[in-house]
Homo-oligomer: A and B are copies of this chain.
Amino acid sequence: MAMSALPDLDSLKLLVDVGELGSLGRAARAAGIAQPSASKRIVQLERGLGVPLIERTPRGSTLTSEGKMVAGWAAQVLAAAEELMRAVQAVRHREAVHLRVVSSMTVAEYLVPRWLGELQNREPEVQVGLDVINSADVAARVLAGEVELGFVEGPGLPDGLAGRVVGTDRLVVVVAPGHPWARRRTVLRAPELAATPLVVREPGSGTRETLDVAFRGLHRAGPRLELGSNSAVKGAAQAGVAPAVLSGYAVESDVATGRLVEVPLAGVNLVRNLRAVWRRGRPLTGPAATLLSIASRP
């Protein structure tokens, strides 16, 4: 199924702005371009999607009903894109940073950008730096005092660190839609899973740790493939290499859209806590404290 050309984010933003500002011209000014350029872009977007999006009148433009829908979906795409940009900002500059945070992959990808966004919102003057590394290394860096605050997933809390749970995650087993397990009629049980070669994250990652702890004492097959990022693992699973075990956050949308199928699993607890950690005896101050309070909130 060919994926009919992705839309252009600037045009989507423009569409959303037209909806909110009520006129093409105003939206153009908001985007810093001239009115005719905006007009052309919208026409192009309409042609590309094959749907009329805005209702032009001599005193402004409003979204058609299709336009409202597209704008709604577009807003979600844009929110995700802005999250990406925020996270990249935090990752980029290694100097002139007032708050340095380290985080393991899963928390970083799915939760930290939002927290950083809100921190930025509350204290715009704070420059945040974010490093994404393994859970094991996060603990080491925090212990060494190189960073004030870290986020980790996984079962244990190393000595010398204080922590607070800021969320939970559940590991799930997923397979490609064509895999036999996608249609199995019996529930998968831990021993069978443990004895199956899997696509998994690398040792030292929080995901892998959790899995290893859960399988302790069972007869285990070696991994079929070890990969260093959630999306690589997902890709391999989708390609049918083998079943994969991954964070529920990571596969949520793939399962929802049927690109991957979740295999129900019984008899083993793969829920794990996501924790903020800092050095015991060194209470957080300033922006680090603010970030912790943001993260712990809901």
Give min CB distance, A168 to chain B, whole Å.
Answer: 17
For A232, the chain B residues whose CB sits under 8 A away are 19-20, 68
User: Which of B13, B69, B79, B89 is close to A132, meaning CB atoms less than 8 Å apart?
Assistant: B69
For A10, the chain B residues whose CB sits under 8 A away are 6
For A204, the chain B residues whose CB sits under 8 A away are none
User: Which of B68, B121, B228, B257 is close to A117, meaning CB atoms less than 8 Å apart?
Assistant: B257
User: Which of B72, B73, B122, B257 is close to A258, meaning CB atoms less than 8 Å apart?
Assistant: B122
CB of B75 within 8 A of CB of A77, answer no
Restricting to A67-101, which residues have a CB under 8 Å from any CB of B? 68-85, 87-89, 91-93
Give min CB distance, A292 to chain B, whole Å.
Answer: 16
A108 interface hit (Cβ, 8 Å): yes
Judged by DSSP, the binding face of A is helix
For A229, the chain B residues whose CB sits under 8 A away are 19, 63, 68, 71-72
Number of copies of this protein chain within its complex: 2
User: Which of B73, B132, B253 is close to A84, meaning CB atoms less than 8 Å apart?
Assistant: B73
CB of B1 within 8 A of CB of A253, answer no
User: Which of B49, B91, B109, B234 is close to A88, meaning CB atoms less than 8 Å apart?
Assistant: B49
Whose C-beta in chain B lies nearest to the C-beta of A32? B2
For A257, the chain B residues whose CB sits under 8 A away are 79, 82-83, 114, 117-118, 121
For A133, the chain B residues whose CB sits under 8 A away are 65
For A83, the chain B residues whose CB sits under 8 A away are 73, 76, 253, 257
A35 interface hit (Cβ, 8 Å): no
Give min CB distance, A174 to chain B, whole Å.
Answer: 14
User: Which of B50, B85, B118, B256 is close to A6, meaning CB atoms less than 8 Å apart?
Assistant: B85
Give min CB distance, A43 to chain B, whole Å.
Answer: 16
State A230–B6 Cα separation when bound (angstroms). Answer: 24
CB of B91 within 8 A of CB of A69, answer yes
For A71, the chain B residues whose CB sits under 8 A away are 229, 231
Supposing A3-B85, A77-B84, A133-B65 touch, asked if A121 and B70 sit within 8 A by C-beta, the answer is no
A-B contact pairs, 6 of them (CB 8 A): A6-B78, A19-B232, A72-B105, A73-B109, A73-B113, A76-B80
Q: Give the 5 A-B residue pairs with the shortest CB-CB distance, closest first.
A: A121-B258, A20-B235, A117-B257, A118-B258, A73-B84
Known: A7-B85, A68-B229. 18 other contacts (CB 8 A): A3-B85, A6-B10, A7-B9, A49-B92, A65-B132, A68-B105, A68-B231, A69-B91, A69-B109, A72-B108, A72-B109, A72-B231, A76-B80, A76-B84, A76-B109, A77-B81, A118-B257, A121-B259
